[in-house]
Amino acid sequence: MSMESPRVVVRSEGDGVSVLVCSGEFDLDTAGVLRAACERASAAEILVLDVAQVGFADSTFLNLLLKLRKSRRLVLIGPLSEQLLRLLEMTGTLALFEIRENAPEAP
C-alpha cells in the first residue's frame, strides 16, 4: 500500500487569518508536516484548515486538530473526505469543529 505524501501550504490572509491547505495522508509518521505548518502560522488568531484534499487521517491528525482548537479559532473547510468525516463521527468529535464550505471572514 503506498501512501500519498502529506503536504501543507500556508497562506496568510491578513487580519489574523492563516489558511493551511492540506493534502495527502496524515498518520503518526507524517502528522509532523501539519504540526510544523501550524507553528509557522502561530501568530494567526483564526486558523483555517482546508481539508478537502486529505485522503486519509488517523487519530494523530485528530488529536492535533483537538489541540489546535483549544489555542485559537479553528475552522475546517471542505468538503470533508468520507474517511475524515467517518473518523470525526466515530469519535464523537464532529460537533466540536466549525466546518464550512468556504473560508470564514475575519472578525
> Tens digit of pLDDT per residue, the chain (107 long)?
457 899 999 998 888 999 999 999 999 999 999 999 999 998 899 999 999 999 999 999 999 999 999 999 999 999 999 999 999 999 999 999 999 987 666 55
Q: At what angle do helices 59-71 and 32-40 cross, to 10 degrees?
A: 20
> pTM for the complete prediction?
0.89
What residue has cell string 495527502? 24
Burial letters for 60-97: b for 16+ Cβ neighbours within 10 Å, e otherwise?
bbbebbeebbeebbbbbbbebbeebeebbeeeeeeeeb
Cβ-contact 35, 25 below 8 angstroms = no
